[in-house]
Amino acid sequence: MKKLFLPLLLFIIACNFPKDPEDSYSEAREDKLLVGVVDNPPFCEVSGENFSGSEVELLRKFAGEKDLEIEFHKGSETELIKKLEKFELHLVAGGFEKKTVWKKKAGRTTPYDNKHVFLIPKGENELLKHLESFIFQQKKKS
């Protein structure tokens, strides 16, 4: 019986991953998915309160599949990264490459097109798990 205790304990602990200390996914489901957008055509285009571009459309498709409402926030890279670090945003879109200069301040998703990523708060995050799963599904379809 003692031999089974440690493996069983490790299994129970592993079932709790990914940790989501800021409850980003539950927050997005209960309220809104908060997305920072840097105006960087063709990935993200901001015209007044209208948001478009390939990344915006990809996020809208993700939100539709997960039944999430999106709230977009426009801003500069610096402004949005500061908000991301304070967990005031769930992710930032703007044509960022996987070798972005922001990689020390923000986490990154897997590239959705082998080059471009979305930025997320550092650390484990259930929202990241769902978004990356969606990205992998989209790559399979391409």
- The full set of domain ranges for the chain reads 20-141
56 pLDDT above the threshold of 70: yes
Which H helix or E strand runs over 45? strand 45-47
112 pLDDT above the threshold of 90: yes
103 pLDDT above the threshold of 80: yes
The mean-pLDDT minimum among 17-26, 79-88, 130-139 falls in 17-26
Higher pLDDT, 66 or 141: 66
Question: Taken in order 43, 89, 123, 28, is the CA torsion positive or negative?
Answer: negative
To the nearest whole percent, how much of the chain has pLDDT over 90? 73
Mean pLDDT, residues 35-55: 96
Give the CATH number of domain 20-141: 3.40.190.10
Given pLDDT bands bounded at 50, 70 and 90, which one contains residue 9? very low
pLDDT tens sequence across 65-99: 999 999 999 999 999 999 999 999 999 999 999 99
Output the six-digit token pair for 25.
């996914």
19 pLDDT above the threshold of 90: no
Tell me if 107 sits within 8 A of 128, measured CB to CB: yes
15 pLDDT above the threshold of 80: no
